[in-house]
Structure 1
Amino acid sequence: MAIVFALGAERALAAHNALLHISPWLSLLVAPAGFAAMSWLSRRFFRGTQGSGIPQAIAASHSDDPGVRVRFLSLRIAFAKIALTLGGLLCGASIGREGPSVQVGAAVMHSLADRRLGRIASSHNLIVAGAAAGLAAAFNTPLAGIMFAIEEMCRDHAFRANSTTLTAVIFAGLMSLSMLGNYTYFGRTLTALGWPGALWPTLACGVVGGFLGGAFCRLLIASSRGLPGRLGHFALDRPVAFAALCGLGTALVGLATGGLTSGTGYAESKAALEGIAPLPGYFFAAKMLVIWLAFASGIPGGLFAPALAVGAGVGAVLSHFLPAGPVAPLLVLGMVAFLSAMTQAPITSFVIVMEMTANHELLMPLMATSLIAHGISRSVSPLPLYDALAAAMLRRATAEAFSVPALRDDRQPLPGQ
């Protein structure tokens, strides 16, 4: 399902680009309408699909109540998550499919617990295994899938290396290999940084990326709890109209940047890594803005791929202030710094970036940058992003299960949006 999801995402992005080729001004109509439609569908019919999908998987793994788990993980939600995320990509939202793939994988594996196939594994282990397999298949990064299971899905309790998780990740990797071939997400970046020349790039990317990623993490957590002032009241009272407004803002930013900020950011990052099209200095800030607009609107969609694009933009800016040299390593270090700071999962972040670029020469700088960024981020945002969103979702789902009237009001903000 994750591989079919990936192929569908490519076609959705291609269709959006085809619309922009007809006329870039079409985005002013398509984006608001698309954001509104995805918001209405997710709120009206598929309540568990909003946002990234990783908080839902974490929340379900932390609950022992089958009624709460089914609110986040079911085959119905999995298929809806795929369809609504593809709809968001079609209308130009700055979202990714990797977080949704985690929820899809967790939902598929969790569904096995309800089948009369004997006791394959505990529900918790099935959820963790599915989440890891979803990430591994989405990025074609099996090691990162295992590290994600350890560092993100099992942050609050010890991870046991069980055959369920390992088998799921291995088969996800084999399926990806058989259907998509032996590819790396961003191709192969073979440039390296020698020592001690790598010291300043590592420190610069770690500190700047860590601060920006930590601040962005804090902003997303605060936004999930409600926006201030009249804008917050408008978002609560008219969420679909607010989503349309976010879509309009996304379209305007896309027009101002020549379409650079639409979609996942994968194409722009890959072109910059290959030296085909450098990223402009404003790219990282504009990309952060459209990511926030998609997040605040509550439409389904992930953060991983857009966050990597922001990191590449940070690295591109820092390359102008550091000694002359190849730019590609700085883009890679910027990616790992921002992702590590935003997710506060440093080991998963550097393993993902290392596998996506197939660059083992940068292993030590990647590790050091990721750890520095994580340390800076913790000082800016003490709460990890996905854990904070998952905790809020779990509280809401538990309260709704016990029919607490105050939390059943549809005007209440949905955690994780």
Structure 2
Amino acid sequence: MRRSRRLWHNYGVFWLGAVLVGLVSVAYAKLVDFGFELFQRLLSHGVWLPLIVTPLGAALAIWLTQTFFRGAEGSGIPQVIATLQDSRLSKSLLTLRIMSGKIAVSFLGILCGFTIGREGPTVQIGASLMYAMRRGYRRSSAHIERQLTLAGAAAGLAAAFNTPLAGVVFAIEELSRSFVARNSGTLITAIIFSGIVALGLQGNYLYFGQIRAISDFHWTLVPVLIAASVLTGVAGGAFGWLMLNVPRWMPAPLVNMRRAHPVRFAFVCGLAIAAIGIASGGTTFGSGYAEARGLLESHAALSLLYAVLKFAALSVSYLSGIPGGIFAPSLAIGAGLGNVMAHITSVVPLPAMAALCMVGYLAAVTQSPITSFVIVMEMIDGHQMVIPLMAVALLATQVSRTIAPSFYHTLAHRFLTPTVPAPRQA
């Protein structure tokens, strides 16, 4: 009996938590897909309906967040980083209440057409679930809680993208920025268990399917890779700079409204998102998964302005403070930039060009080149493109760093600094 209890405390609690992360990640993914499907049905009844639904939904979402779920704002990754650096924040940022609010309000955002993704929130959801499992230990400690948080966050990302290797790399490169050997087994075990659950419920799939890759590397590709790196690096760095320095470019009345009247500001953001979506023919609503996949499969006819419009929609969605991630929309923006590059040069086919710009833009925004490269490689089964993908990710990150500091870590620092109030968005 004692041995059974010891085994439960040593392994069972952790394994159960990892399984729960997988179950909740799959359920959340299906919920988000269902929400966007409902929004698309709404569009079929009238392309102007978002001008009513989106701003009202935005106002409701921010009211709910500000009133009941403070700490659920944005993607959730900065919150996880902050708790890993200061475990005292876990009790306010990784609660089951915050997790529930994250799921509910981000679903509302997708239901109203916001340009947000589910992958970032799944990181905070996974971390919150695993952190809650600390109650199953007879004697918890800061070390155990940190292990649980790190493993839950990594498992959440891996389950969201079906990219197990990316989950490990993400935990090392982005969340902890250091790797302790004794944590490796914890991370991998959590990812295995949550991954098995996700695979069992959804099957073994590639997030974006398999693309037509670059079969042979020629030196003629080098200028194209450099151009893609610079383009995506500047675009990703610009996004980071704009979002981290809002008072320096936004008109003062809007800055004041954002601070003093966040619900009213969200309503204005909702109007802007609806207008951008209508102008784009509906392509900027949602995460952008369908548009990115269409470019990777060479059958989407998107405007060359898609990347610009999607960039604007994501920026406004982020500024509103609604819970939601930037991973998937960033991949869509990158694919849109690849579409532009493919029209300029025919050296690289559209699917490969889209993949290269996806990894470049994601790396530039997150400034986590290895995570970005591994995520995209696993999502498209792009092992034949390892060197080009890695090169673009590294170069784009360097370009981005000349424009803006680390996006997630700068936001995490705001949670850690007592003199600076926690931001309404992350």
- Pairwise TM-score range, normalised by the shorter structure: over 0.9
Deviations 1:130-159 (A, max 9, x none): 10000000000000000000000112x444
Residue 117 (structure 2) pairs with residue 108 (structure 1): no
Distance 1:236 1:254, change over 3 A: same
Shift in CA distance, 127/133, structure 1 to aligned 2, threshold 3 Å? same
Q: Distance in 2 between matches of 1:325 and 1:164?
A: 41
Match of 1:3 in 2: 26
Q: Offset at 1:278?
A: 2.8
CA 1:100–1:348: 2 relative to 1, 3 Å:
same
Partner of 1:416: 425
Q: Which amino acid aligns with 1:173?
A: G
Indicate if the aligned counterparts of 2:209 and 2:381 stay in contact, CA closer than 8 A.
yes
Tell me, yes or no, if structure 1 residue 75 matches structure 2 residue 84: no
Instruction: Establish whether residue 126 from structure 1 lines up as the match of residue 135 from structure 2.
Output: no
**Could you give the per-residue CA deviations for residues 284-328 of structure 1, whole angstroms, max 9, x where no partner exists?**
110011111111110100000000000001111111222355211
The letter of the residue matching 2:60 is A
Residue in 2 aligned with 1:163? Answer: 185
Query: What residue in structure 2 maps to residue 189 of structure 1?
Result: 211
Look up the equivalent residue of 2:110 and give its one-letter code. L
Conserved 8 A contact 1:224-1:389: no
Find the residue that maps to 1:214 and give its secondary structure.
helix
Q: Residue 114 and residue 226 in structure 1: after superposition, are their counterparts in 2 closer, same or farther (change >3 A)?
A: farther
Q: Structure 1 residues 212 and 39, CA, compared in 2 at 3 Å: closer, same or farther? A: same
2:302 aligned with 1:279: yes
Q: Is the 8 A contact 1:226 1:232 kept in 2?
A: no
Of 240, 246, 250, the residue aligned with 2:269 is: 246
* Kept after mapping to 1: 8 A contact 2:415/2:422: no
Residue 272 of structure 1 and its aligned partner are, at CA, apart by: 1.5
Aligned positions of 1:129-208 closer than 5 A? 129-155=151-177, 157-160=178-181, 161-196=183-218, 197-208=220-231
Shift of 1:122: 1.3
For residue 198 of structure 1, report the CA deviation from its aligned partner.
2.8
Matched residue, 1:22: 45
Q: TM-score, normalized by length of structure 2?
A: 0.90
Give the partner amino acid of 1:232.
V
Aligned pairs, number: 400
Which stretch shows the higher mean deviation, 225-234 or 335-344? 225-234
Give the conservation status (yes or no) of the 8 Å contact 1:220–1:292: yes
Distance 2:27 2:132 in 1: 19
Q: 1:94 to 1:324 in 2, by over 3 A?
A: same
Q: Is 1:374–2:397 an aligned residue pair?
A: yes
Separation of aligned partners in 2, 1:295 and 1:325: 32
Match of 1:89 in 2: 110
Residue pairs, 1:334-345, within 5 angstroms: 334-345=357-368
Query: Which deviates more from structure 2 when the two are superposed, residues 159-168 or residues 110-119?
Result: 110-119
- 1:333 shift after superposition: 0.2
Equivalent residue number for residue 402 of structure 1 = none
Whole-Å Cα distance in 2 between the matches of residues 132 and 110 of structure 1? 13
Partner of 1:295: 318
Q: Give the distance between the partners of 2:253 and 2:247, measured in 1 at CA.
A: 16
Q: In the alignment, which residue of structure 2 is the partner of 1:215?
A: 238
Does the 8 A contact of 2:414 with 2:422 survive in 1? no
Tell me how far 1:193 sits from its aligned partner: 4.8
1:320 aligns with 2:338: no
| Cα distance in 2 between the residues matched to 1:17 and 1:278 | 19
Partners of 1:5 and 1:145 lie apart in 2 by: 18
- Counterpart of 2:284 in 1: which secondary structure? coil
Percent pairwise identity: 41
Please, which of 67, 75, 86 is the counterpart of residue 63 of structure 1? 86
> Is the 1:393–1:415 Cα contact (8 Å) retained in structure 2?
no
- 8 A contact 1:102–1:134 mirrored in 2: yes
Match of 1:355 in 2: 378
Contact 1:314 1:331 survives alignment (8 Å): yes
Task: Using the TM superposition, give the Cα deviation of residue 394 of structure 1 relative to its aligned residue in structure 2, in angstroms.
Answer: 2.2
- The secondary structure found in structure 2 opposite 1:94 is coil
Task: Let me know the Cα RMSD of the aligned residues.
Answer: 1.8
Segment drifting more, 125-134 vs 315-324:
315-324
For the residue of structure 1 that corresponds to 2:402, the secondary structure is: helix
| Range that drifts further, 264-273 or 193-202 | 193-202
CA offsets per residue over residues 213-250 of structure 1, 9 Å max, x none?
A: 11111111113899451111111121101001000000
Q: Secondary structure at the match of 1:24?
A: coil
> Whole-Å Cα distance in 1 between the matches of residues 330 and 205 of structure 2?
21
Relative to the length of structure 1, the TM-score reads: 0.92
Give the Cα–Cα distance (whole angstroms) in 1 for the partners of residues 317 and 94 of structure 2.
22
User: 1:224/1:64 Cα in 2 relative to 1: closer, same or farther (>3 Å)?
Assistant: farther
Sort the Cα spacing of 1:345 and 1:325 in 2 relative to 1 into closer, same or farther, 3 A: closer
Of 256, 259, 271, 2:279 maps to 256
CA contact (8 A) 2:62 2:266 kept: yes
**CA displacement, residues 318-368 of structure 1 (integer Å, 9 cap, x when unaligned):** 112223552110000000000000000000000000001012111110001
Q: Using the alignment, how far apart are the partners of 2:25 and 2:105 within structure 1?
A: 14
